[in-house]
Amino acid sequence: MGIDFELVNNPISEDVKAGENPLDYVVRMSKEKAKAGFGEKGLTIGADTIVSMGNRIFGKPKSVGDAKETLKILSGCEHVVLTVVAIFDGKKLEHVISESKVQIKELSFQEIDDYCKTGEPLDKAGSYGIQGIGGIFVHQIKGSYSGIVGLPLFETEQLLSRFKIDTWSGRIGS
């Protein structure tokens, strides 16, 4: 987008609160990340992506076994990928939501096992990366490809414009 940025890593608890639905959870996570990263540089962007089916949230797997179980559940089914981007400037905290539907083909035990051996599922919400090897499992998407990857470009640009950030020049205040 033509914007200079600095990556800030201020870990936060990503535990799901009792009774929290997928949308409320991902909105809360993105806002907490934006606030946790705020410093003296102006504004921060926080984003979070989850995979959900009904009220079940699939974040990053905790183990290979967890990844295999998630992939078995997603196999042959449509699920929702929610990515929320939040921006905080020290006073104002706003967010946008990207919701996409993804259809995964029916996966064999061997495909799941072979894919998990690559290590790719261990760092991905829902245990697959559409932008990587896991993309071969994706039959259809309805929504934002960049949102499924993890940063919905259209929505992020729209949110930045609310903060008077010109994404073409990277300048503030147009």
**Per-residue confidence (pLDDT) for residue 41, from 0 to 100:** 67
**Per-residue confidence (pLDDT) for residue 171, from 0 to 100:** 57
48 is catalytic: yes
Low-confidence stretches of the chain (pLDDT beneath 70): 1-2, 40-41, 168-174
User: Within a domain: residue 47?
Assistant: yes
Whichever domain contains 30, its CATH number is 3.90.950.10
User: Within a domain: residue 105?
Assistant: yes
- Whether the Cβ atoms of residue 29 and residue 67 lie closer than 8 Å to each other: no
> How many Å apart are CA 101 and CA 71, to the nearest integer?
16
User: Within a domain: residue 17?
Assistant: no
- pTM flag (> 0.85): yes
Looking at 48, 66, 89, 123, which residue is catalytic?
48
**Per-residue confidence (pLDDT) for residue 6, from 0 to 100:** 80
Amino acid letter, residue 61: P
- Whether the Cβ atoms of residue 94 and residue 162 lie closer than 8 Å to each other: yes
Catalogue the E-assigned strands of 76-153. Answer: 78-88, 93-104, 138-142
115: three-class secondary structure by DSSP: helix
Number of domains in the chain: 1
User: Within a domain: residue 10?
Assistant: no
User: Within a domain: residue 96?
Assistant: yes
Query: What are 149-172's pLDDT values in tens digits?
Result: 989 999 999 999 999 887 766 555
Which domain, by its residues, includes 31? 22-162
User: Within a domain: residue 61?
Assistant: yes
User: Within a domain: residue 172?
Assistant: no
**Per-residue confidence (pLDDT) for residue 174, from 0 to 100:** 45
> How many Å apart are CA 33 and CA 49, to the nearest integer?
12
User: Within a domain: residue 39?
Assistant: yes
